[in-house]
Structure 1
Amino acid sequence: MAKRRRRISLDMTPLIDCVFLLLVFFLVTSVFKQDKSVLKLLLPETSSEVKQEVSEGFFIELSETEIAINGELATVEILKNKSAAVQNKKAPVALKIDKKTPYEKVAEVLDVLQMEKIYNIQFVNELKKE
């Protein structure tokens, strides 16, 4: 009578568990490279004097922390009221933005102007330093 050979088999479940735990451990403890790239905008410069007077519209200056309308400090709510009160929606609105102004703030101002159907927006650039 021939001897029956038993097949040797390994239970893979504990091995898979160990590999999975190692994978989770390395994923949790590793430091992922953070994308710190910032959109660089090269704003144009001009050599002529910039006029801050806008005939029928108004002049908006944005800095890192403030909004100014025609030289007076304002909030987004004041900007909404001022832009809603404009009779001539085709009047130009001059927008001067500081380089350090976050884009979210610029987008918020542009959204307010767009909601009031003011589309004639002029971006004012800086004077060229000679």
Structure 2
Amino acid sequence: MFQRDNKRKVDIRILPLIDVIFFLLVFFMLFTTFRATPAGLDIDLPQAETVTEQEQKQLTINISAQGQIYLEDEELTIAALQSRVANVINEDPEAVIIIEADREVFYDKIVEVMDTVRQVGAHRLALAAEEKVEEQ
């Protein structure tokens, strides 16, 4: 006889959904633009085809394009670098010292750091490079 229309209409509230999607979009845009570099430095490493990963205990020395020396997020002078590396070598004489120098750094600055490190007994040195990617 009488037909009742008790069906509820489906009501999708899209406004809260848009807020969440917008938040996620902004988050991922910001997250992908920040670069995680050691010591907050933007070091442009040279490229090489024979890059190998170091697996032993290591100490990384960063040299910025302006020639500043950093060790564990701290800017150091040559004398301070020498004493810090000496402490590491006293603990582990087989520690590998990795030097990450920007490609714009003058060669004499790299040699100065290498010489300083070798004076305190570190003989396992490595120069960091990025793996060369072939252009197609």
**TM-score, normalised via structure 2 length:** 0.52
Secondary structure of the structure 1 residue equivalent to 2:109:
helix
In structure 1, C-alpha distance between the alignment counterparts of 2:81 and 2:96, rounded to whole Å: 15
In structure 2, C-alpha distance between the alignment counterparts of 1:74 and 1:54, rounded to whole Å: 25
Counterpart AA for 2:82: K
- Could you say if the C-alpha distance between residues 115 and 102 of structure 1 is closer, same or farther in structure 2, counting changes exceeding 3 Å? same
Alignment check: 8 A CA contact 1:62 1:98 kept: yes
Alignment check: 8 A CA contact 1:91 1:120 kept: yes
Structure 1 partner of 2:93? 89
In structure 2, C-alpha distance between the alignment counterparts of 1:64 and 1:77, rounded to whole Å: 20
| Cα shift at 1:71 | 2.9
* Aligned partner of 1:123 among 124, 127, 131: 127
In structure 2, C-alpha distance between the alignment counterparts of 1:62 and 1:127, rounded to whole Å: 19
Counterparts of residues 42-81 of structure 1 (less than 5 Å): 43-45=46-48, 56-65=57-66, 66-81=68-83
Aligned length: 86
Secondary structure of the structure 2 residue equivalent to 1:101:
coil
- Could you say if the C-alpha distance between residues 54 and 85 of structure 1 is closer, same or farther in structure 2, counting changes exceeding 3 Å? farther
Secondary structure of the structure 1 residue equivalent to 2:58:
coil
In structure 1, C-alpha distance between the alignment counterparts of 2:121 and 2:102, rounded to whole Å: 24
In structure 2, C-alpha distance between the alignment counterparts of 1:116 and 1:54, rounded to whole Å: 22
Alignment check: 8 A CA contact 2:86 2:121 kept: no
Unaligned runs of 5+ in 1: 1-42
**TM-score, normalised via structure 1 length:** 0.54
Between structures 1 and 2, the one with greater helix share: 2
Report the RMSD for the aligned CA atoms in angstroms: 2.7
Identity %: 21
In structure 2, C-alpha distance between the alignment counterparts of 1:59 and 1:77, rounded to whole Å: 17
Q: Which runs of 4+ in 1 moved over 2 A?
A: 43-46, 53-57, 126-130
